[in-house]
Amino acid sequence: MIKKLSIQPASGLQGDLSVPGDKSVSHRGLILGAISQGTTILHHFLPAADCLSTLTALQKLGVPIKRVDTTVTISGRGLHGLTQPQQPLDMGNAGTATRLLTGLLAGQPFETTLVGDTSLSQRPMERVRQPLQAMGAQVQLTAGHLPMTITGRTLHGSCTEMQVASAQVKSALILAALQADQASTIIEKLPTRDHTERLLQQFGGQIETAPDQRTITVQPQPALVGRSLTIPGDFSSAAFFVTAATIIPNSHVRLTNVGLNPTRTGFLNILRRMGEPVGTLDVRFAQLHPVQVTATEIPAVIDELPLVALLAATANGISTINGAAELRVKETDRIATIVTELRKLGVQITSQPDGFVIDGRKSWRQPTEPLASHGDHRIGMMMAIAALRLAAPAELESAEAVNISYPTFFEDLARLSQGV
């Protein structure tokens, strides 16, 4: 789908907005509800393509789930109540669901095959297979990728030092550790988002994080109990409008009910250093300064790095982003796609193996060819925000990619552009 993008509104972006439910929490709420006893109700669930892939996969694993708009009711089957699906589970584009379910299914007494779309089938899965195998799991990959076949086995408690800073891999190990024969310890390279740990405690699991914020101990075989949860607004979705309000003159946007888990809000820390006076997501236009982002900051801002690049493209100097090699194995090679798309606007940006160098002092220009999402939801939304700075409308190819995480994105953006 090719979409004609909005240009800068004369009065800037104005208004209040409640963004959809958090994608990471929606995935995890579904999974933990499925392996709990009793009923779990998720309010403000994100009905985007990725989360619906998780919901459908769990239904095929024998879990009764009903959804009415953004309310989901799950009849939990308990930790050992899943059943073998009759066919491979199609995970679509959902990398989070794929890796988390790999950890869960590694300890179930049956065989499951996971498949995905073209993009997901190119994402690395060896990073999750290796540590699970050390726990006794049997996971077969296709040249390191999907299709993946998981043959459930008895899992053993272990001490795992993670080789990549990945909340998805960590969560897969936690779900496997719940089914092990003794306690497990997981040691992260750097602290990553902790939604799984927080939610697991709410469902009755025993999990502890050491003061170093890197060492996690999981007790096995918990009796999880279903509960009612209201999912907060997705910070990563809110970040697009934070960025838009920051770079579009005369803007004033207030974002309500946004999740502010400190392992997710590194983007705000970076934005503060660039000169934007952020309060409780009450955002106004600001002149930005260049910023240097280093590897220790990347886990808390990994999904917002395209927006950091866009902000840097408007700052009054040279910004650098390093330590972000993980961007190369997202839905696309985001380092390459960000460089390609921002250069269409005349942005002076150079790729590095693990990041970018961006000079925001150069004036932008009208693109001579359509902008493109490359099938990546975050790239598509980033370019729609960037197009607000143009004097004439631009076109976005594969605009439907935003449905992966934010189906109402264009409608919400149009509402703020109209000040209603």
Label residue 277 by pLDDT band (50, 70, 90): very low
Q: Which residue has the tokens 């866009």?
A: 310
**In a shared domain, residues 11 and 109:** no
Last residue of a domain, one of 206, 230, 254: 230
d(Cα 84, Cα 165) in Å, to the nearest integer?
31
pLDDT in tens, 295-323: 999 999 999 999 999 999 999 999 999 99
pLDDT in tens, 24-36: 999 999 999 999 9
Q: Quick one: pLDDT at residue 402?
A: 97
Which two tokens mark 30?
């579904």
pLDDT in tens, 158-217: 999 999 999 999 999 999 999 999 999 999 999 999 999 999 999 999 999 999 999 999
d(Cα 237, Cα 23) in Å, to the nearest integer?
9
> What mean pLDDT, rounded, does the chain reach?
95
% of the chain with per-residue pLDDT over 90: 94
User: Residue 74 forms beta bridges with which residues?
Assistant: 40, 65
**In a shared domain, residues 60 and 155:** yes
Instruction: Kindly report which listed range (105-109, 152-156, 284-288, 364-368) carries the lowest average pLDDT score.
Output: 284-288
d(Cα 25, Cα 30) in Å, to the nearest integer?
8
**In a shared domain, residues 15 and 127:** no
Last residue of a domain, one of 179, 211, 230: 230
pLDDT in tens, 107-147: 999 999 999 999 999 999 999 999 999 999 999 999 999 99
Task: Look up residue 172 and give its DSSP letter.
Answer: H
% of the chain with per-residue pLDDT over 70: 99
**In a shared domain, residues 206 and 60:** yes
Instruction: Look up the domain containing 406 and give its range.
Output: 3-20+233-417
Determine contact, residues 93/121, Cβ cutoff 8 Å.
Answer: no
Q: Quick one: pLDDT at residue 278?
A: 41
Last residue of a domain, one of 230, 254, 275: 230
pLDDT at 17 over 60: yes
Determine contact, residues 23/53, Cβ cutoff 8 Å.
Answer: no
**In a shared domain, residues 287 and 383:** yes
Per the structure, the count of domains in the chain is 2
**In a shared domain, residues 314 and 254:** yes
Largest CA distance in the chain: 63
- Which of 22, 303, 376, 412 is flagged as catalytic? 303
CATH of the domain at 292: 3.65.10.10
pLDDT at 276 over 70: no
Average pLDDT over residues 263-279: 79
Could you confirm whether 212 is annotated as catalytic? no
**In a shared domain, residues 147 and 202:** yes
Q: Quick one: pLDDT at residue 280?
A: 52
**In a shared domain, residues 131 and 14:** no
**In a shared domain, residues 408 and 272:** yes
pLDDT in tens, 46-65: 999 999 999 999 999 999 99
β-strands 145-151, 111-115 pairing? antiparallel
**In a shared domain, residues 84 and 226:** yes
